[in-house]
Every structure is written in structure tokens, then in C-alpha cells.
Amino acid sequence: MSDLNKILHVEDEDDIREIANMALELIGGFQVAQAELGSVALDIVEGFAPDLLLCDVQMPGMTGPETIEAIRKIPGYETIPAIYMTAKVGESDKGSLMGPYELGLIAKPFDPTTLATQIRELWAQGLANAA
């Protein structure tokens, strides 16, 4: 994995997108692109070239896991790391979502003041596990 600078955030709820964008850009210093649907994420992923996918689990149309699976079919994105954000964080859910390139889950509602730190910690753990 490279440095973490650019995050593609996929979330269908406007208010969550807005709060996460402020938390990631203003507090975290990340470059952020946002998509309200998985299909929109597929349209913009190559042009934005994110280092990380931050994706809601339950969305209309394509779910988060379906969106990430589709992005990973694009050449060059087969191993892009992902973090899920979800209001449903049960152990059974966690097990079914986690694969070799999923760095973790962040529960919603999240704390905007610590979101960037949580993401950096999951990223660092992913680097350590890949080493």
C-alpha cells in the first residue's frame, strides 16, 4: 500500500456525506471524492484514483460490498483497500464483510472529530498486516 491521501467515499445519505467530507478534508487533510451510489462511484473511480474506498454497506441499487467488488474488477484496482461504514456492526456482519483488502469497519453514527484518525489507524494496521 502507498501513502493515504485520496479517499473515495460512497454513501447514499446526504447529511452523512456532508459531515464525513468536512471531517476528512478539514480535519483529516485528505482529498475526498464522494458518490451517492455505487454506480456513481464506478463512474468516477478511475478519474479520481483513490488510495482507499470508504463505503456504506446498505445502499439502494448496488450495496457497498457489490460496489467494492465491481471496482476491484477494474484493472489497477484489484487490491484497493476498503473500509466499510455501517450502522449495523454485528460480529456476523463483520465476518461476512471482511476480506483480504478490507481494513475494517467504522460504526455509524461516527465521531467527525476522530473519523480521520480512525481511518489512519486502520490504514496503518493494514500496512502492518501486509508486511
pLDDT at 1 over 70: no
pLDDT of residue 48: 98
pLDDT value at residue 72: 96
Bridge partners of 86, per DSSP, are 107
Tell me the whole-structure pTM to 2 decimals. Answer: 0.92
Summarize pLDDT for 79-91 with one digit per residue, the tens: 999 999 988 755 5
Q: Coil, strand, or helix at residue 36?
A: coil
Q: Please state the rounded mean pLDDT for residues 107-116.
A: 95
**Confidence tier at 94 by pLDDT (50, 70, 90):** low
Among the four given CATH numbers 3.40.50.2300, 2.60.40.10, 3.90.1210.10, 1.10.274.10, the one describing domain 6-124: 3.40.50.2300
Residue of 91 and 130 predicted with greater confidence: 130
β-strand pairing of 52-56 with 31-35: unpaired
